[in-house]
Amino acid sequence: MKLLTHNMLSSNFVKGVTKGFPLKIMASKIEEKEVDFNPEFISRMIAKLDWPALYTAAGDIKKAEGLPETITENYESNEDFLKIAHNLLLQVEIIEGDLICPETGRKFPITNGIPNMLLHEDEVTGDK
């Protein structure tokens, strides 16, 4: 699971959960895989991200070194910043571990890089 994906996931369909974001990451296996750098794509994605959630996720997996706590001003033209974001969003991959709901503590396993967000019938809220 890439951190780009993680930034879009929440557990807000679990009964009793109002926000369910960001999910905490407990990774047991992380890999870095080479992905071609596309500054235009990264720049467009940064505008859509919840940056504080990305920063927290990077800290969860001990990959926050060099990552600023807030988005760098004029980031679109800052190649160093874009390369750090590129690495974190697209090259770092959680292979095994868990995503944990911040409200309930419910664990969602990550296996072979795929997060399993399926709920048991008794966990599903009926109003969403």
Q: Tens of pLDDT along 41-65?
A: 999 999 999 999 999 999 999 999 9
| Whole-number pLDDT of residue 35 | 97
Tokens 């679990």 locate to 14
Decide if pLDDT at 30 tops 60: yes
Confidence of residue 128 (pLDDT cuts 50, 70, 90): very low
For 106, residues 6+ apart whose C-beta sits below 8 A from its C-beta are 11, 14, 100, 123
Domains of the chain: 3-118 (2.20.25.10)
Q: Model pTM?
A: 0.88
Half-sphere exposure of 16 (CA within 13 A, CB side): 8
% of the chain exceeding 70 in pLDDT? 97
